[in-house]
A and B are shown apart, each in its own frame.
Chain A
């Protein structure tokens, strides 16, 4: 029997039973992390759902009063009208409302916006998300690429005048809050030196140009995104430079660098293939974690430039007490953060074979 099976082709190996497969799945790292992520998302949803309903200023009451004064309705009539507009019954216990919400959510329905009557939340999010993804995503890429390149070179040639200048500039710029940088740029370059018109940097795109895949439209998008992107890049590049510098310096102390130098490898090869790649590893993890927060956008910067992204609209939803939009945006951000944390773990395993995930969280 054993001789027979040994001589048979590998395809004849016993097929794992369903139960074995399930057990293997349960033990796998990914499964564990995904379940944990789902629990976290549910917990955040629960917290935000009940928390935002405690905020003073109920949008339902506001609308009822609005209807009563504007259309001269009685309270009863206004109440019924408002209930039909909002498509939810405010007298229903919050717990049941929460059940409805989760039920809808499982069917992929995020509900209707409360203040923007008749607009599904999903549609609003899909409308805002591209702006934020585009502006912050591109700036993160730019500042990461530039920052790591600069950090690598000043780490390698540390002590040079170039290192001193870049390190000083990086620590100065990483120490100033992003909105302060924005205000300084507006006040100095916009108001005092008049290098650009301030009115031109508010909004997402020139409203007079019709949306099309034309050169003009894309140019306008880039022109309007320039300011926020400049500020995102400036406010994050310093951290990347400094992190890459310290990572490079610690990598330079490794034995394999000394060996590579002893072997007489050209400096360029050592810098790119030996130092750069290894020094980059911890930063890649940080980048992957950052991806989650890209989605949320920067509330203050987007509000400042009236940029039509997710951050500004979250702020508008919070101040306007638009419960469903708030929940929807919080959900999207939470999912993105959870997903990017998992992504960070997977990426580092893929890049660095020394790291094993099943060793536990300390890796």
Chain B
């Protein structure tokens, strides 16, 4: 995958800058320079953080926002600002594309507005952004402190672990290493693995749930049976058994395993949703008009499910992080430093849990995990407003 290797490197910065030229140029062209500069900064940051994976979608979004400010809908003389002589009902390809872009931009702006309107959601969003920024860009500024430092022992103390000081803002861990560097370097993998696991579980659930709801019959029965079966087995002990069976040399494997075990609850909800949506009047009307399966799924059924699925995605990411940290906490997966969960594990294993001066080493990862989970909860509150077309008012 191109992109993830360029995370927080000069190459990523260059990718971001190049991507940012598109909204900037559009902003200059449409005389919306402020918006263009905003788009440039957004592209620069996302290109820097995720390489091409972040840069390319951001081009689309920022360009759409710029267009949405400048676009004049010539087809609609009543609500648009088009002068009467500009009104034209001819539809050209470019015109169509522009309109689609403007609509996307309006959606993005409305989502942003919905996000900023809900204070709790905004706090959650800022929290998530904070952790993502710190774990991606932090390593640029703070060097990883991996080797033990016997020389850092405070005189008269038996352990190397030390409380926060001016030199080490979060204190020293049991090997005398800087806790702050471990915090900055140790979060990215945990967050990424949890997000992967959440996306996998949600993806499996949505696909199987839609299949069960739309196809019905034997497919439905088979999927429901498997789901009930998985729901009966206690999830976390099963994960412990599987953790012994599978060697987790890759994080993706762990995420995949989590996904395979955690789809049933959401699958049942999606299936019920699809079943009830199928009976709604507007879906029936679309079927009667013979609008085609793709249109019905993408325009009628999916928009009504997406807020629910998005909220569940966040919930599943939380459960994934819970399970992964739990497995590490019990020492059941290969431990790799630096990692927030491994910090808690070693803290408990080395017996520094009960040393008052070890607070910095233990509380840092604990509070980080708690705050990240909290941010996810708060953010999921405004997701509802962002994705639900009824709650989302126009700009």
State the A residues within 8 Å of B (CB): 40-41, 43-44, 47-48, 51-52, 54-57, 171-172, 174-177, 179-180, 183-184, 186-187, 190-192, 198, 293, 296, 299-300, 303, 311, 314-315, 318-319, 326, 330, 333-334, 337-338, 362
Contact = CB atoms under 8 A, between A and B. Distances in A.
A334 B356 contact: no
A55 B322 CA distance: 24
Contact of B244 (A55, A184, A198): A55
Contacts of A187: 353, 359, 362-363, 366
A351 B2 CA distance: 58
Contacts of A52: 241
Contacts of B237: 296, 299, 311, 314-315, 318, 330, 333
Contacts of B244: 55-57, 318
Contacts of B232: 40-41, 44, 334, 337-338
B376 interface: yes
Given A51-B241, A56-B244, A330-B237, A303 B356 contact: no
B344 A293 contact: no
A175 B330 CA distance: 21
Contact of B234 (A176, A179, A192, A333): A333
A184 B366 contact: yes
A57 B332 CA distance: 14
Given A177-B322, A180-B369, A300-B329, A171 B378 contact: yes
A326 B241 CA distance: 10
Specify which of B120, B332, B363 lies most central, judged by the most chain A CB atoms within 10 Å of its CB: B363
A180 B370 contact: yes
Interface string B213-244: 00000000000000011011110110011101
Nearest to A175: B377
Nearest to B244: A55
A315 B240 contact: yes
B366 A183 contact: yes
A172 B232 CA distance: 29
B125 to A, nearest CB: 15
Contacts of A319: 332
A129 B367 CA distance: 33
B356 A296 contact: no
Contact of A300 (B330, B353, B355): B330
A159 B236 CA distance: 38
Closest 10 CB pairs of A and B: A175-B377, A175-B374, A55-B244, A177-B322, A296-B234, A176-B370, A180-B370, A175-B373, A333-B234, A337-B232
Contacts, number: 113
Contacts of A41: 232
Contact of B356 (A43, A192, A293, A318): A192
B354 A191 contact: yes
Interface string B118-144: 001000000000000000000000000
Contacts of A362: 272, 275
B318 interface: yes
A191 B360 CA distance: 12
Contacts of B275: 362
Interface string B337-374: 00000001000000001111001001100110110011
A299 B229 contact: no
A299 B330 contact: yes
B3 interface: no
B373 A177 contact: yes
Nearest to A190: B354
Given A174-B377, A191-B354, A315 B362 contact: no
Nearest to A57: B244
Interface in B312-346: 318, 321-322, 325-326, 329-330, 332, 344
Contacts of A198: 353-354
A176 B378 CA distance: 12
Contacts of A326: 241
A179 B370 contact: no
B245 interface: yes
Nearest to A296: B234
A39 to B, nearest CB: 9
A171 B244 CA distance: 34
Given A175-B373, A183-B344, A330-B233, 13 more contacts: A54-B245, A174-B377, A177-B326, A186-B353, A187-B353, A187-B359, A187-B362, A192-B356, A296-B234, A299-B237, A319-B332, A330-B234, A338-B232
B378 A183 contact: no
A187 B344 CA distance: 12
B234 A177 contact: no
A349 to B, nearest CB: 19
Given A172-B374, A176-B373, A184-B366, A315 B330 contact: yes
5 contacts: A54-B245, A179-B326, A180-B373, A191-B359, A299-B237
